[in-house]
Amino acid sequence: MAPPLLNLQNIHLTLGGKPLLEGAELSVSRGERLCLVGRNGSGKSTLLKIAAGVLEHDGGTRFMQPDATIRVLPQEPDLSGYPNTLAYVEAGLGPLDDPYRALAMLNDLGMTGDEAPSNLSGGEARRAALARVMAPQPDILLLDEPTNHLDLPAIEWLESALAGLRSALVIISHDRRFLANLSRTTVWLDRGRTRRLDRGFSEFEAWRDQVLEEEERDRHKLERQIVREEDWLRYGVTARRKRNVRRLGALYDLKQERREVVRAVGQVKMSVAEGRTSGKMVIEAEEISKRFGDRAIVRDFSTRVLRRDRIGVVGANGAGKTTLLRLLTGVLEPDSGTVKLGANIELASLDQGRTSLEPSTTLADALTGGGSDNVVINGQPKHVIGYMKDFLFGPEQARTPVERLSGGERGRLTLARALALPSNLLVLDEPTNDLDLETLDLLQEMVADYPGTVIVVSHDRDFLDRTVNAVIASEGDGRWTEYAGGYTDMVNQRGVGVEARAITRATPSEKSVGAVAAPARRKLNFNQKHALETLPARMETLRATMAKFQAVLDDPELYSRDPKRFAKASDALARAGAELAAAEDEWLELEMLREDVES
């Protein structure tokens, strides 16, 4: 058997005074397809950095074949210092690599190579980083969350491209379908150590559950042995007469082993605050249409959403998924057609951009709203520390500012806030971003058990298959079609998956002879980005202002008692309503521009 290209043995690393890796191992052979799985915070990205040679470990050995080439895709690519995306990708090529592959790879990912790094969206930066590491076709390709910020067409293209590479792959991802389709070996990083399964991810979860069940049985045996030993210490004749040092030492070792076995790994506990029961008919849309300028976003779409429905919405970036959501939930008025919401609708939503999180707010205040130590769930107060633990946050993080949380932690925090709101209609926009597999499992269970109605926008095919009973898919040019079943059922009915929006691409030969470049795409300038970030908070403030003046006007005797106050409150309510309408229109225009940029 040929020696591995890369071999990590008995890797130890301590961060912040706490052991993170305690004997982890990783072996990668030529052409191997390997996925690295484990909880958020278990050290997967750290182990990948050690494998890449960019991070020093405290103990153990790292060996890589001297002539092997390696590339690593970081979670947050840095394109600063490059004039455009093509220069960034070309900088990743080796002296013997084909220079045309840089532009060809960018074109395949829907980019021209002329994009300025300062104007890139998260999705564009991810595509450029993928082109940079894939163009050289290295011996080993280390990919950390490669599907983040990609839409379904890009994810499916990436799957096909990676399957055709000669490179050995090590992949970290929360996308089950992506892992199942590409991996042939699974490495599980758990409590600082690694376990290896020489089968793909599709068989990992059954194997993991079997391993955990065996650990549980061993733990019960250990506990019974501890009880027997303690009984002997209390009542044994020898124990009454003298200390048996050897047996005391054995008991101490047993207890130490038990502490190691049950060392806290945490479990997410999700519960959702229930609102009033809605009517049977939740949403009825008839022939609704919406245009922005000359572009049709929604064209003559009709649907009926009933209580307990689980509806998925899919489409390429820029197809108008967010606009369709806002139309269906009554936030945005259609240009034509009607939307009727059922009785007693109480809406809770999770926004894709996590824009509702104020960076300087502490974690505890973000959950409670400030001024309290409790979160109210289903009318019952629960201490914020206990609620934090349900979502894998430690008590010491209560005063941590939101801006210092990782992407996964921000995702869990936004999810915790949304689930604490009383609701019977739950709208989830990309809820799976940055969540680990265990948290995804529990989110799926929560969606299944939720007594109300769920509408979810997601690029995670496995999540859609596990949670929804109907899919609304973009067919292009503002046309949307509803299909029964999950994502796979939709593909079987359509014959194809979600398709990318048509774009103009330059070919390597055109570029080399100075052909006309693809039309420059619109970008968000600083003011537009700032407005997109701040408008949601302003809209919430205006809604609160309107609610305050509406409460004043709800007094039936106000006009006869104080006509001046009535007139003043009426004028203020009208002004706030006009400002809110203008802010919503501006936000929608910017959101559509953002979707265009990201596509």
- The CATH number that applies at residue 540 is 1.10.287.380
CB atoms within 10 A of CB 454: 23
Closest CA to 172 of 189, 160, 157: 189
The backbone torsions φ and ψ at residue 590, rounded to the nearest 5 degrees and listed phi first, read -70, -35
Domain holding 380, by residue range, is 358-419
Q: Is residue 155 part of a domain?
A: yes
Residue that is last in its domain, among 206, 223, 256: 206
Are residue 367 and residue 324 in the same domain, yes or no?
no
CB contact at 8 A, 134 and 161: yes
Q: Strands 374-377 and 380-383: what pairing?
A: antiparallel
Are residue 427 and residue 554 in the same domain, yes or no?
no
> Each residue's pLDDT tens digit in the chain (599 positions)?
578 999 999 999 998 778 899 999 999 999 999 999 988 778 899 999 999 999 999 999 999 999 999 999 988 888 989 999 999 999 999 998 898 999 999 999 989 999 999 888 888 899 999 999 999 999 999 999 999 888 898 999 999 999 999 999 999 998 999 999 999 999 999 989 999 999 999 999 889 888 888 888 887 777 777 666 555 544 444 444 444 455 445 545 544 544 443 333 444 555 555 555 556 889 999 999 999 888 899 999 999 998 888 999 999 888 889 899 999 998 899 999 999 998 888 888 776 555 567 788 898 888 888 778 888 776 678 898 988 887 778 888 888 888 887 666 777 787 788 777 778 898 988 888 767 777 787 788 778 878 889 999 999 999 998 889 889 999 988 999 999 888 988 888 887 777 765 544 334 333 333 333 333 344 666 667 777 778 888 888 888 888 888 888 777 777 778 878 877 887 788 778 777 777 776 777 777 777 666 65
Are residue 488 and residue 412 in the same domain, yes or no?
no
Which 8-state DSSP code applies to residue 501?
P
Are residue 443 and residue 556 in the same domain, yes or no?
no
Are residue 329 and residue 272 in the same domain, yes or no?
yes
Distance of CA 593 to the CA centre of its chain: 22
DSSP reduced 3-state for 392? coil
For residue 82 the two structure tokens come to 């490059």
Are residue 76 and residue 189 in the same domain, yes or no?
yes
Cα separations (Å) of 149 from 317, 460, 516, 517? 10, 11, 29, 26
Tell me what pLDDT residue 438 has. Answer: 73
Q: Is residue 230 part of a domain?
A: no
pTM to 2 decimal places: 0.70
What are the residues whose beta carbons fall under 8 Å from the beta carbon of 317, sequence distance 6 or more? 123, 151, 501, 595, 598, 599
Cα separations (Å) of 581 from 16, 331, 578, 595? 49, 10, 5, 21
Q: Which residues pair with 338 in a beta bridge?
A: 286
Are residue 331 and residue 453 in the same domain, yes or no?
yes
Q: Is residue 255 part of a domain?
A: no
Tell me what pLDDT residue 379 has. Answer: 66
Dihedral sign of CA atoms 498, 499, 501, 506 in order: positive
CB contact at 8 A, 298 and 478: yes
Length of the chain: 599
Are residue 332 and residue 465 in the same domain, yes or no?
yes
Sheet architecture: strand order including 479-484: 347-350, 425-429, 453-457, 310-314, 470-476, 479-484
Are residue 371 and residue 433 in the same domain, yes or no?
no
- 20: CATH: 3.40.50.300
What are the residues whose beta carbons fall under 8 Å from the beta carbon of 10, sequence distance 6 or more? 23, 24, 25, 59, 60, 61
Q: Is residue 322 part of a domain?
A: yes
Q: How far apart are CA 246 and CA 33, in angstroms?
A: 49
The C-alpha angle with vertex 271 and arms to 267 and 276, in degrees rounded to 5, equals 175
Amino acid at 15: L
Are residue 369 and residue 332 in the same domain, yes or no?
no
Residue that is last in its domain, among 467, 497, 521: 521
Tell me what pLDDT residue 597 has. Answer: 65
CB contact at 8 A, 26 and 57: no
Q: Is residue 221 part of a domain?
A: no
Q: Is residue 260 part of a domain?
A: no
Q: Is residue 234 part of a domain?
A: no
Q: How far apart are CA 158 and CA 140, in angstroms?
A: 16
Residue that is last in its domain, among 468, 499, 521: 521
Tell me what pLDDT residue 372 has. Answer: 81
Name the residue with tokens 């002539």: 67
Are residue 81 and residue 177 in the same domain, yes or no?
yes
Q: How far apart are CA 387 and CA 416, in angstroms?
A: 8
CB contact at 8 A, 501 and 476: yes
Domain count, the chain: 4
Q: Is residue 30 part of a domain?
A: yes
Are residue 516 and residue 452 in the same domain, yes or no?
yes
Tell me what pLDDT residue 26 has. Answer: 97
Helix axis angle, 152-164 to 122-134, nearest 10°:
10
